[in-house]
A and B are shown apart, each in its own frame.
Chain A
Amino acid sequence: MADEKKPSKGGILQTFKDIVYGMSSHEMTRHAVRTRASMEHLFILITMGDLLGIPILPPYYSLRLLPYVTPQISAWKRRMLREKDITDTLG
């Protein structure tokens, strides 16, 4: 706390704002981001299930979405194949 109260060139107001943010809405933000991430994985499962051998209709349209999720595919596959979900430990 002492560190945070030290006046810096960024202004004491900004520091204060950050503290309020940390106390009030950081947890909510984290929750929103985490829910969003889970939904992302669910979304990829629904559209790209074939990658794991789960055929989910219709493949022609899934392919259309593939370019947008290409960077996430590896992380998603790891997560799906893990026995325990990362959010179990964090939650």
Chain B
Amino acid sequence: MSLRQVFESYPERRYIMFGGKGGLGKTTLSATCAFWLASQGKRVLLFSVDPQASLSDIFQRDIFGQGPVAIAQNLWAQEVDADRRIREYQDEIRKKILEMYGFERVPEEIDNYISAASAEPAMEESAIFDAVVDIIVKGDYDYYIYDLVPLGHALYYLSMAKVYDEWINKITKLREEMGQYDRVAATMRREETVEEDKILEELLYIKKRINSSSQILTDKSRTAFFFVLVPEEMIILDTRKAADLFARFDVPISGYVVNRVLPPELDRDNLPPYLRNRISLQRKYLEEIRTSLGKNVLAYVPEMERDVTGLAMIERLAERLFT
């Protein structure tokens, strides 16, 4: 199967991810894929969850923190500004406390906590997680393409969905049990029914968001995860390990894309030894990839003569990849 056939055979797979080590071309392939889908008349949102996002670089315009920016017909790109999101969120929480209790200012202890929470790395990650939930639950687009962070991080991100899922289910259950005790005490004292639990309401809201996001990420019928690799020894080994790990988190791996394949016309007589060596090494690794991954490789992407940045170059790569 080719990449194109995968998209054509599984049109209900609307959540597309490219994963792989840093610098192998995840952003390039995400952008190319998004561009091609958009050219087929689909409404596509390409977004990044990486604090060091590179969508601005590949499209050669600053889109950081500006929401979905129209890039071409049917194609939008978005880079989430996690820091700003956290700041706005903190202010929202402070405002809520002031309003709820009529305080002049937030108690110092609480305020310190709010500030300290944002300094944690986990805060940024969970904020990004929530931003992604925002993006995907709206459902304004036909395709959502995630420009993922490098492997280890991506794995963490995907596993987060699973961990959060369990976390929220347990806490919601605890809160519901607490409500039962409230009701027991109230009934025995023959009091009026207890007031509604605002915390439970919040929890149910969070639960709904987390559950829907986690379901999407691990649903083979709606999500496609592609591994990007290049024909190099270390990368092949790492990809194999990562694929095992991803499978453990129920990530639906749809196939592999081999990037940076040297063009065959390069292989001719009178090559300097360095190049000849490189070419024969790559051939060896390509052979290895063919034997171990076989039909799961959906595309061999040629090494282009220049970096893929700007729409014209993306279009050229899309033509080579999808026709």
Contacts and interface: CB of A to CB of B under 8 A. Distances in A.
Interface of A: 21, 25, 28-29, 32-33, 35-36, 39-40, 42-43, 46-48, 50-51, 55, 57-71, 73-74
Given A32-B184, A43-B174, A63 B89 contact: yes
B65 to A, nearest CB: 17
A39 B197 CA distance: 14
A68 B202 contact: yes
Given A57-B126, A58-B126, A65-B199, A29 B188 contact: yes
Contact of A73 (B110, B168, B206): B110
B314 to A, nearest CB: 33
Main SS of the interface on chain A?
A: helix
Contacts of A62: 117
Given A60-B127, A66-B97, 11 more contacts: A29-B184, A36-B181, A43-B171, A58-B160, A58-B164, A59-B120, A64-B93, A65-B203, A66-B110, A67-B96, A67-B100
Contacts of B167: 57-58
Nearest to A51: B113
Contacts of B190: 21
B contact residues, range: 35 or more
Q: Which of A33, A60, A66, A67 has the most CB of B within 10 A?
A: A60
Contacts, number: 110
17 contacts: A25-B188, A39-B177, A39-B181, A43-B175, A43-B199, A46-B174, A47-B171, A51-B113, A55-B120, A57-B163, A60-B127, A61-B210, A62-B117, A63-B117, A64-B93, A70-B101, A73-B110
B265 interface: no
A65 B163 contact: no
Nearest to A17: B190
B164 A57 contact: yes
Contacts of B101: 70-71
B184 A40 contact: no
A78 to B, nearest CB: 12
Closest 10 CB pairs of A and B: A60-B126, A58-B126, A36-B181, A32-B185, A67-B96, A29-B188, A25-B188, A32-B184, A59-B123, A67-B97
Contacts of B100: 67-68, 70
A33 B183 CA distance: 10
Most chain B Cβ neighbours within 10 Å, of A40, A43, A46, A59: A59
B107 interface: yes
Interface in B175-209: 175, 177-178, 181-182, 184-185, 188-190, 198-199, 202-203, 206
Nearest to A28: B188
Q: Which of B96, B160, B163 has the most CB of A within 10 A?
A: B96
